């Protein structure tokens, strides 16, 4: 029962492994959706489980189970959003869903891992699966092949650097367990070996989170991957990376001032670089990539201010980040013809072509920009308050300025949808389940904005 969510995801992976061996599409969509929904229900059933496994290297508690439920929800939404053969060759659909579920399994393992070797193994299970699905886009283009090679290369290099840093951590603490490493850090934090170990180790986590300076891969990978693959990469792995950073921060009473200062500088650079680059983007997926880089910076405010409710604020923010990005990417997926990328100009007249899609995009953009009454506003408010309580006024001001900058390119999406004429662009007809997904995402974003305290209380109890 402790491994219920992981067991469900492993079962889904194995089922699609056997389906891929047959080489037939069959009723792939039906089974994928049914099993993804069942996996999400089982992750909710197991949310109260507690215990340790594998000699203490694997911890199951409310904290990990909350994140597993979020990962399962993200996986379920992505599976339901995938609705046609236009993005992936039909013969490769079972392989696609197999690697997608294997990746989610690795991320679920990562949020329960409290030991370096188990962290690396789970991270690699997730990463190798993603390396395999990026090239599966139907249209074999130079852009797509470039994205595949870049993701593999940057991912392998960042993992190698992270392992090098972990070797130093083991040397300093004499243990691979986080509970032993974190108390030993203050003794080495002012020495070059301590700075080197921390820097190299965090690079792997920053790569997953696409935080500055490990952000440069995101725009090209988002642009070159299929819409569904990009949706997954942009949302689900970031949940696990945030969980691991929060888990590490939980083990220390308060971050050393030097480390907090470095994280604040990285957060400020990530927010600024992401938002300034987002102002000039024409491809909507590249725009959302730079948006994700900026939001990784906002998330760090919760990591460095864990003692003042920053941990619960960070969980709240990564939760709303999941839903508002899923909404934005779903609009792209439904607008895309033959799996092509969607430009900002392609949104012209969307309010006439599909009012529901226009509303979904508007709610997503308002939430990403941090405009009330959406969950994005509430999440940023909680993060800024927790950082302010810890005395980090400078980073709060920088975050507020960056929020204002981001409004320009987010609201440009809404302006294109409602103020421009559609021209010769056709209307977009939605199926019943597509309408249900749009409504579900809209309701979730507004619910987290209007009634946030129930969820925040649950997240607080995880610490």
Q: Does the pLDDT of residue 308 top 60, yes or no?
A: no
Distance CA 7, CA 394 (A): 45
Fill in the DSSP letter of residue 372.
T
Give the model's pLDDT for residue 359: 92
pLDDT at 310 over 80: no
- Per-residue confidence at 75, pLDDT binned at 50, 70, 90? very high
Domain layout of the chain by residue ranges: 4-460
End-to-end CA distance of the chain: 22
Per mean pLDDT, which range of 71-80, 192-201, 247-256, 350-359 is the poorest?
247-256
pLDDT average, residue stretch 235-261:
79
Distance, in Å, from the CA atom of 225 to the CA atom of 235, rounded to the nearest integer, reads 14
Give the model's pLDDT for residue 83.
63
Q: Span 221-232, mean pLDDT?
A: 83
* Tens digit of each residue's pLDDT (9 = 90 or more) over 359-411: 999 999 999 988 888 888 998 888 888 888 888 888 889 988 998 898 888 88
Percent of the chain whose predicted confidence (pLDDT) is above 70: 94
The pLDDT of residue 81 is 84
Judge contact between 221 and 150, C-beta under 8 A.
yes
The C-alpha atoms of residue 376 and residue 380 are separated, in whole angstroms, by: 6
What was the pLDDT predicted at 334? 86
Q: What average pLDDT does the chain have?
A: 84
Confidence of residue 226 (pLDDT cuts 50, 70, 90): confident
Helix (H) or strand (E) holding 59: strand 58-60
- pLDDT reported for residue 442: 92
Buried b (16+ CB within 10 A) or exposed e, 269-294: bbbbbbbebbeebebbbbbbbbbbbb
**Dist. CA 135–CA 225, nearest whole Å:** 7
Taking only the tens place, the pLDDT of each residue in 424-442 is 777 778 888 888 999 999 9
Instruction: Please report the pLDDT score of residue 105 as a whole number.
Output: 93
User: What confidence score (pLDDT) does residue 25 get?
Assistant: 58
For the entire predicted model, the pTM comes to: 0.90
Average pLDDT over residues 126-154: 79
pLDDT score of 85 more than 80: no
């Amino acid at each position: 029962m402790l491994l219920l969510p992981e067991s469900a995801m492993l079962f889904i992976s194995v089922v699609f492994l056997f389906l891929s061996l047959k080489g037939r599409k069959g009723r792939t969509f039906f089974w994928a959706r049914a099993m993804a929904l069942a996996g999400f229900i089982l992750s909710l059933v197991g949310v109260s489980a507690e215990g340790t496994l594998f000699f203490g290297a694997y911890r199951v508690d409310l904290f990990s189970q909350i994140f597993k439920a979020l990962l399962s929800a993200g996986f379920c939404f992505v599976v339901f959003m995938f609705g046609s053969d236009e993005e992936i060759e039909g013969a490769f659909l079972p392989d696609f869903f197999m690697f997608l579920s294997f990746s989610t399994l690795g991320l679920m393992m990562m949020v329960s891992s409290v030991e370096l070797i188990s962290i690396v193994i789970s991270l690699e299970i997730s990463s190798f699966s993603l390396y395999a699905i990026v090239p599966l886009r139907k249209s074999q283009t130079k852009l797509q092949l470039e994205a595949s090679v870049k993701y593999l290369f940057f991912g392998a290099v960042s993992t190698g650097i992270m392992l090098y840093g972990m070797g130093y951590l083991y040397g300093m603490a004499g243990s691979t367990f986080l509970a032993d490493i974190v108390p030993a850090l203050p003794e080495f934090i002012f020495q070059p070996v301590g700075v080197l170990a921390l820097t190299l180790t965090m690079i792997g986590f920053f790569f997953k989170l696409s935080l500055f300076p490990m952000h440069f891969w995101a725009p090209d990978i988002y642009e070159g991957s299929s819409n569904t693959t990009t949706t997954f990469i942009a949302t689900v792995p970031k949940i696990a990376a945030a969980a691991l950073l929060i888990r590490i921060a939980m083990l220390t009473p308060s971050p050393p001032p030097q480390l907090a200062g470095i994280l604040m500088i990285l957060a400020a650079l990530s927010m600024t670089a992401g938002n300034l680059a987002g102002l000039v983007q024409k491809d909507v997926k590249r725009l959302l990539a730079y948006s994700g880089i900026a939001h990784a910076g906002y998330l760090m405010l919760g990591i460095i201010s864990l003692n003042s409710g920053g941990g619960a604020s960070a969980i709240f923010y990564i939760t709303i980040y999941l839903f508002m990005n899923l909404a934005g990417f779903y609009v792209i997926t439904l607008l895309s013809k033959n799996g092509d990328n969607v430009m900002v100009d392609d949104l012209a007249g969307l309010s006439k072509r599909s009012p529901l899609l226009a509303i979904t995009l508007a709610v997503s953009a308002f939430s990403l920009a941090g405009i009330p009454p959406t969950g994005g506003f509430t999440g940023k408010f909680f993060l800024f308050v927790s950082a302010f309580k810890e005395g980090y006024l400078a980073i709060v001001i920088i975050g507020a300025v960056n929020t204002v900058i981001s409004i320009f390119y987010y609201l440009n999406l809404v302006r294109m949808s409602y103020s421009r004429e559609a021209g010769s662009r056709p209307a977009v007809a939605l199926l019943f389940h597509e309408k249900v997904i749009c409504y579900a995402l809209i309701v979730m974003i507004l619910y987290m904005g209007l009634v946030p305290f129930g969820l925040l209380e649950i997240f607080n109890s995880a610490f």
